């Protein structure tokens, strides 16, 4: 829309002033002009129809310019309907008050054509820019919402239970995970999938940085993790060792990485028959083991180099064993580093206490408890980091 197509409203109790201003506007190319004789009539006119700008006199009977401005502000109309105050030189203090209330600009009486053109044109241009920014924001918010849904769909939302016989007994292996990005999209990931008929691969990662770059790097890392694992299983008939898997993923992530991003990653392979877990830690937070008897404790693992930093990085392998009633919980640092309104951290000690109260809970109940506890602690404080947790339990 051309600026000269703008709909304008002149509000002034003096008919001569209205006429002079309308004629000056017409000479400037503004022909779509409406009139109101006081504030009450102005409010009724604005409520009945939309205007691109209002030229508002300060001193009027029944409802003056300040009262009109306050009413428009209270109704949230000032961004959509910018106001230019019309004032005499003796009313400058009042004009300052109007600018503080949200008026865009002011015009002194008598009306100067050059000043009128400049100030009205500036106000209409700013309104058009704000409208375009709102359209772009709506589009961006829609795209980010779609991106969030797409990212959340990349991590498992259904968690099958696996039944296996061991020593004549039926054991059940269950998993559950949750991810809560700090922004619309985040850089955390978790995954659990079958790497062969009797092996479960599970992993939790945390990408450096925030927002869309971290989300794209997360998607790349997760895709590589699955694709490389399943490709090795298809070609050799057996899952890779965790260190071999990390070596290939790391090599690929180091390529075409201009932002020098990296990911910490814990990955494990659980033998569903024996309960043996082979795992490797690429710079990630240590996971917790939930024993059948006793309190939860950190799993011994020497964190190696995060992935994406150095192509030659070497990671070691470790093992543990999950018996009936035991489990392993892997988190990201978004849990212990969650802050409350006073600026205090949730801490690893609180996470450990939470785990000890849920030693007999299912994987789903355990995850639900952890997330509820940390979100309750935050009391609505904005997340500084993504919150992600994955549990594997043997029942």
Class of domain 155-394: alpha beta
Residue count of the chain, please give it.
Answer: 395
Render 86-125 in DSSP notation, one character per residue: EE-GGGHHHHHHHHHHT--EEEESSPPHHHHHHHHHHHHH
- Whether 4 has a pLDDT exceeding 80, the answer reads no
Q: What is the mean predicted confidence (pLDDT) over 344-359?
A: 94
Largest CA distance in the chain: 102
Model confidence at 266, pLDDT cuts 50, 70, 90, reads very high
Q: Which stretch, 64-68, 113-117, 339-343, has highest mean pLDDT?
A: 339-343
Predicted local distance difference test score (pLDDT) of residue 169: 77
pLDDT at position 3:
64
Query: How far is residue 35's CA from residue 267's CA, in Å, rounded to a whole number?
Result: 71
Q: Is the pLDDT of residue 244 over 90?
A: yes
Reported as a pLDDT band with limits 50, 70 and 90, residue 91 is: low
Domain ranges across the chain: 3-147, 155-394
* pTM for this prediction: 0.77
Q: Both tokens of residue 390?
A: 């994955």
CA dist 264 and 282 (Å) reads 5
Q: Say what the pLDDT of residue 261 is.
A: 95
pLDDT at 80: 87
Tokens 């004549």 label which residue?
A: 168
Each residue of 174-192: pLDDT tens digit?
999 999 998 888 889 999 9
Query: Average per-residue pLDDT in the chain?
Result: 91
* Percent of the chain clearing pLDDT 70 (strictly above): 98
In this model, does residue 128 exceed pLDDT 80?
yes
**Region 96-101 average pLDDT:** 86
Q: What is the pLDDT of residue 356?
A: 94
Strands 8-11 and 53-57: parallel
Q: How many CB atoms sit inside 10 A of residue 58's CB?
A: 23
Least-confidence region, from 21-25, 304-308, 330-334, 363-367 = 21-25
Q: Is the pLDDT of residue 2 over 70?
A: no
Question: Domain 3-147 carries which CATH code?
Answer: 3.40.50.2300
Task: State the pLDDT confidence band at 1, using cuts at 50, 70 and 90.
Answer: low
Q: What is the mean pLDDT of residues 84-104?
A: 81
- Percent of the chain beyond pLDDT 90? 63
The two structure tokens encoding residue 145: 């919402």
107: pLDDT strictly greater than 90: no
| Cα(377)–Cα(391) distance, integer angstroms | 21
pLDDT tens, residue by residue, 275-327 = 999 999 999 999 999 999 889 999 987 779 999 999 999 999 999 999 999 99
22-81 pLDDT per residue, tens = 999 999 889 899 999 999 999 999 999 889 999 999 888 889 888 999 999 999 888 888
Residues 11-22, mean pLDDT to the nearest whole number: 91
- Which whole number is the average pLDDT over 164-180? 87
Is the N-terminal amide bond of 110 cis, ω within 30° of 0?
A: yes
Q: Which of 305, 324, 225, 317 is nearest to 278 (CA)?
A: 317
What band does 255 get if pLDDT is binned at 50, 70 and 90?
very high
Closest residue by Cα to residue 162 from 152, 148, 172: 172
CA angle 212, 217, 222 (to 5 degrees): 125
In sequence order, the 6+-apart residues with CB closer than 8 A to the CB of 47 are: none
- Identify the pLDDT of residue 98: 85
pLDDT of 90: 64
Checking if the pLDDT of 350 tops 80, the result is yes
């Amino acid at each position: 829309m051309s600026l000269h197509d703008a709909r304008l409203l002149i509000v002034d109790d003096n008919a001569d002033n209205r006429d002079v201003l309308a004629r000056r506007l017409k000479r400037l190319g503004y022909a779509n002009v409406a009139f109101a004789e006081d504030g009450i009539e102005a409010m009724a006119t604005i409520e009945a129809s939309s205007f691109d700008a209002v030229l508002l006199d300060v001193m009027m009977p029944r409802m003056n310019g300040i009262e009109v401005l306050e009413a428009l502000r209270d109704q949230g109309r000032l961004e959509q309907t910018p106001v230019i105050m019309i004032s005499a030189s003796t009313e400058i203090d009042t004009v300052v008050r109007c600018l503080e209330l949200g008026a865009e600009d002011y015009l002194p009486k008598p009306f100067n054509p050059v000043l009128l053109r400049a100030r009205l044109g500036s106000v209409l241009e700013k309104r058009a820019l704000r409208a375009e920014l709102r359209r772009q924001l709506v589009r961006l918010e829609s795209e980010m919402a779609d991106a969030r849904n797409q990212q959340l769909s990349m991590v498992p939302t259904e968690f099958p239970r696996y039944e296996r016989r061991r020593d004549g007994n039926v054991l059940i292996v269950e998993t559950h995970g949750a991810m809560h990005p700090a922004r619309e999209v985040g850089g955390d990931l978790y995954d659990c999938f079958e790497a062969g008929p009797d092996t479960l691969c599970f992993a939790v990662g945390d990408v450096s940085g925030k927002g869309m770059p971290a989300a794209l790097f997360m998607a790349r890392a997760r895709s590589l993790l699955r694709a490389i694992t399943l490709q090795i299983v298809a070609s050799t008939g057996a899952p890779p060792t965790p260190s071999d898997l990390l070596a290939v993923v790391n090599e690929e992530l180091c390529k075409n990485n201009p932002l020098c991003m990296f990911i910490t990653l814990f990955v494990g392979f659980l033998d569903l028959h024996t309960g043996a877990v082979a795992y490797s830690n690429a710079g990630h937070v240590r996971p917790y083991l939930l024993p059948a008897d006793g309190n939860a404790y950190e799993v011994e693992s020497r964190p190696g180099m995060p992935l994406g930093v150095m192509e030659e990085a070497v990671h070691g392998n470790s093992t543990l064993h999950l018996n009936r009633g035991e489990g392993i919980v892997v988190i990201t640092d978004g849990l212990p580093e969650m802050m409350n309104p006073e600026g205090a951290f949730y801490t690893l000690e609180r996470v450990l206490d939470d785990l000890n109260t849920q030693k007999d809970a299912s994987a789903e109940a355990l995850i639900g408890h952890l997330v509820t506890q940390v979100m309750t602690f935050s009391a609505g404080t904005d997340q500084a980091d993504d919150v992600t947790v994955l549990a594997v339990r043997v029942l």
